[in-house]
Chain A
Amino acid sequence: GDSVTQMEGPVTLSEEAFLTINCTYTATGYPSLFWYVQYPGEGLQLLLKATKADDKGSNKGFEATYRKETTSFHLEKGSVQVSDSAVYFCALIKIFNAGGTSYGKLTFGQGTILTVHP
């Protein structure tokens, strides 16, 4: 079945440091890929997405490139802030079609806790 593997955390950085969170996936076909962020006490927010190979998703200074050859979707940010402290989830989606309608089933990685110190 489909699976997503994220680098083990927690990750602790100083403000303005460079961030990389590794994500690799196993799936049939070419799923869309996502990064979600969850701030303490909140729900998940869609951070960025990529729908096909070599697509680069970007938002709020974060970037990730869909690499089909390495089945990876690593998250990067050049200079982190204290406010980026959160849990980050990598995910892929499988689309199901039935009777003219579609819905997606997300497969999440285990999440990476990021703490940024001043």
Chain B
Amino acid sequence: DTEVTQTPKHLVMGMTNKKSLKCEQHMGHRAMYWYKQKAKKPPELMFVYSYEKLSINESVPSRFSPECPNSSLLNLHLHALQPEDSALYLCASSPASGASSYEQYFGPGTRLTVT
């Protein structure tokens, strides 16, 4: 099973709302990632968790707050977003030790629109 699931599939929120994106994997991977993808562009890395600890924050604004409550789940809490934050948010997972290539498996994404 190489499935990463994400909910919701679509989200529309106002600039004063608080919402959360959820990601789940059951591949036993201990590294999980959040990416942001704008139309016709490659994904941009936002955060990396390895063994439930934040390993990389790519200078993401504090209105995005990641959380990794356990080895299977990854959340992204959103607050006071701007219209330019509208994008496809992708979650991915990979092994975190003992692998040959550490390839990442992506979820289907959450299409976020900020109004």
By a beta-carbon cutoff of 8 Å, the part of chain A in contact with chain B is 32, 34, 36, 42-46, 49, 51, 87, 89, 91, 93, 95-96, 98, 100-106, 108-111, 113
CB nearest neighbor in B for A108: B42
Q: Would you call A102 and B102 a contact (CB within 8 A)?
A: yes
CB nearest neighbor in B for A33: B101
Q: Would you call B43 and A108 a contact (CB within 8 A)?
A: yes
The listed residue with most A CB atoms (<10 A of its CB), out of B4, B30, B42, B96, is B42
Inter-chain CA distance A98–B48, complex, in Å, is: 13
The listed residue with most A CB atoms (<10 A of its CB), out of B4, B50, B100, is B50
Q: Would you call A93 and B40 a contact (CB within 8 A)?
A: no
The listed residue with most B CB atoms (<10 A of its CB), out of A44, A91, A101, A105, is A44
Surface stretch bound by A, among B11-19, B75-83, B103-111: B103-111
- Distance of A79 from chain B, by nearest CB (Å): 26
Q: Would you call A42 and B102 a contact (CB within 8 A)?
A: no
Q: Would you call B100 and A103 a contact (CB within 8 A)?
A: no
CB nearest neighbor in A for B4: A43
Tell me the B1-45 residues at the A interface (CB within 8 Å): 2, 4, 6, 30-31, 33, 40-43, 45
Inter-chain CA distance A102–B30, complex, in Å, is: 9
Tell me the B85-115 residues at the A interface (CB within 8 Å): 88, 90, 92, 94-97, 99-109
